[in-house]
Amino acid sequence: MPSRRADSAERSITAAGLVRLLGRLHADPDEAAAQYEQLRRALVRFFDWRGAWPPDECADEAIDRLARRLEQETAVADIRSYAYGIARLVLLEHRRRPRLTPIDDAPELPSLPAAASAEPDALQECFDRCLAQIEDENRSLLLRYYEGERQAKIVSRRRLASALGLSDNALRSRVQRLRVRLEHCVNTCAALSR
């Protein structure tokens, strides 16, 4: 199985593909950019409503494939309908992939031996520093999202989503993006402290 980085490099949209896609969306560059964002948001909702995770990556995959088709000069009468057709195929592929176990449901890992305690302290310092850099509202969201155990956690997350006016999937998506940002910061900090 190829690495995630190699997979995303294969999927990335080329400049020519992007120019062709924007040109097909609208002749005016500003309106084309607005149409692109509108299409992307619609595709994210499409995947979010159908439980494809993460919906923004699935939408990007559909748009990348659309751009590649346009670059190959495939005859496309209606860009949006064609994009939804591609999105349905991406969704089918997504559903066929083996399901990943959410980190909350993963079995507990064995604890580290006492001799390795120096590194976790450095990691904890990096984590605390990176968490402090996140905006107050987002930091509170992250901390509240992971409160509780089992059923209490589920109920708490539903209340949190309701209070924010979000669906459960939209809340998970927002927290995932914050988590990725936090993880990147911690990994960078840890690499610099070595």
**Does 110 have pLDDT greater than 80?**
no
pLDDT digits (tens, 9 = 90+) for 21-52: 889 999 999 999 999 999 999 999 999 888 88
Encoded tokens for 33: 């950019």
Q: How confident is the model at residue 126 (pLDDT cuts 50, 70, 90)?
A: confident
Peptide bond into 110 cis (omega under 30): no
pLDDT of the residue at 84: 92
CA dihedral 26, 21, 91, 154 (to 10 degrees): -70
Q: Is residue 91 within 8 Å of 52, Cβ to Cβ?
A: yes
pLDDT digits (tens, 9 = 90+) for 130-160: 888 888 888 888 888 877 777 878 888 888 8
Q: What is the pTM of this model?
A: 0.47
What is the mean predicted confidence (pLDDT) over 73-91? 89
| Higher-pLDDT residue of 190, 12 | 190
